[in-house]
Structure 1
């Protein structure tokens, strides 16, 4: 990406946040509950990213997502540590690709603990793929002026419909259309 002198980049201290330095098996094991617990904050962040198309404007929301993740793992550590350790260890050791299917028994124990102590129910299969409307409590963000996101008109003119079309040489032009 080319950056001109007119683009203000954030300072290093603006980008410094405590990292979530956990293993893949730990994140895979807690992913469904984490996604459910931090759903609102994450949706706000993604909405900001898609509306503005500029990650610099969403740094504060990114910090909130990281803080929510850290807070979630603190709650898990305080309430369901042993159950989570067993489940995460099973996911880590049972397959080479962190498959959850070999660890359903330890998953059930962890899910029960999360429901009982933290009141977080494991979302059903396909929950995160469903389309939902996110009602944002904050007003629509305003984009900072950025000279690198210019809009250009489409330079390719479309072909007129009156242009003659020769017949297709090998098959119908409408082969993909089913009756």
Structure 2
């Protein structure tokens, strides 16, 4: 009932350790394989370009996500992940080459539109940027809800072989309660 009792909190945690044994035969990628340059963009640049970048790299991103989901092992999808990064660099190179001024106006408008980076304050610069992307990259801005739609992806990757399902051992049969037992031989039964 006192405040000192109130401040004492006892938490019991059960520590579960999962040991994953690795052997010399297990493949672990080297640092060189894992090291890929990152896209050096700010949040306002990413927000301004997200719709067009997503559509431009749509197939590459789907391939990566499919690999990640099917393989359930990130080591097997390193090349697909690198391809996503390469596609991002390619997209920004094309934007810099053909729509640099329009893009700068748009992302700076978003940058200065408040802490939420609302797009609603920048519709004029967005339209200018969208027109430039259409003229130079031949890509329309995706309609609202485009990325939420179910879109099938055709892949050349072979389907992974499913792991065999190992069933647990069969449980023993329950005791037969209709069987009469001798209370002298088995004192624990009624």
Question: How high is the TM-score relative to the length of structure 1?
Answer: 0.77
Q: Secondary structure at the match of 1:56?
A: helix
| Partner Cα distance (1:69, 1:87) in 2 | 19
1:20 to 39, 49, 63: 39
Counterparts in 2 of 1:131 and 1:94: CA distance versus 1, 3 Å: same
Aligned to 2:22: 5
- Asked whether the 8 Å contact 1:91–1:99 carries over to 2, the reply is yes
Post-superposition Cα deviations, 1:65-86, rounded to whole Å, max 9, x if no partner, equal 1000000000000000000000
Q: RMSD of the TM alignment (CA)?
A: 2.4
Shift of 1:10: 1.3
Larger Cα-atom Rg: 2
Structure 1 unaligned spans of 5+: 158-179
Shift of 1:117: 1.1
Counterparts in 2 of 1:119 and 1:40: CA distance versus 1, 3 Å: same
- Asked whether the 8 Å contact 1:33–1:122 carries over to 2, the reply is yes
Counterparts in 2 of 1:21 and 1:151: CA distance versus 1, 3 Å: farther
2:59 to 32, 36, 40: 40
Tell me, yes or no, if structure 1 residue 80 matches structure 2 residue 102.
Answer: no
Aligned to 2:141: 122
Shift of 1:140: 2.3
| Partner Cα distance (1:39, 1:154) in 2 | 42
- Asked whether the 8 Å contact 1:32–1:122 carries over to 2, the reply is yes
Shift of 1:4: 2.6
Structure 2 unaligned spans of 5+: 1-17, 172-190
Tell me, yes or no, if structure 1 residue 52 matches structure 2 residue 79.
Answer: no
1:105 to 121, 124, 141: 124
Aligned length: 151
User: Which structure has more RCO (C-alpha within 8 Å, separation ≥ 6)?
Assistant: 1
Deviates more, 1:30-39 or 1:95-104: 95-104
Post-superposition Cα deviations, 1:100-158, rounded to whole Å, max 9, x if no partner, equal 11111100000000001110110000000001111112322568x9xxxx977689x9x
- Asked whether the 8 Å contact 1:15–1:59 carries over to 2, the reply is yes
Question: How high is the TM-score relative to the length of structure 2?
Answer: 0.73
Q: Secondary structure at the match of 2:141?
A: coil
Shift of 1:5: 2.2
| Partner Cα distance (2:21, 2:125) in 1 | 53
